[in-house]
Amino acid sequence: MLWSIISWIIVGGLAGWIASMIMGKNAQMGAVANILSGIIGAFVVGLIVSLITGGGGMPEAFSIWGFVAAIIGACLLIFIVSAVRGRGRTRV
């Protein structure tokens, strides 16, 4: 259990960093935000996959599918947070 949490923190950090570069937000995000976006993004994608497939859940952290899921989820999370933050600002 502890190794699983540690491995998702490591993979989440890498996935969040890659996602922030893909989304063009790397300069605005710090290391903690990268890790959190990767972990939360992986959880969200895992939840969606388990709802669609009816079980199974999230793949292992140190697998290609786990890493890809974490990147996709982090990109989705960064997009949603950027969209919500952008609505509060007036654009000129």
Q: In the chain, where are the structural domains located? A: 8-83
In this structure, of 16-25, 59-68, 73-82, the range with the lowest mean pLDDT score is 59-68
What pLDDT is attached to residue 7?
A: 79
- Note the pLDDT tens digit of each residue in 25-66: 877 777 788 778 888 887 777 777 777 777 665 566 677 877
Contact between 52 and 45 (Cβ < 8 Å): no
How far apart are alpha carbons 55 and 25 in whole angstroms?
Answer: 33
CA separation (Å) from 51 to 2, 32, 44, 46, 54?
A: 25, 28, 11, 9, 5
What pLDDT is attached to residue 44?
A: 78
User: CA geometry: angle at 16 spanning 5 and 12, to 5°?
Assistant: 10
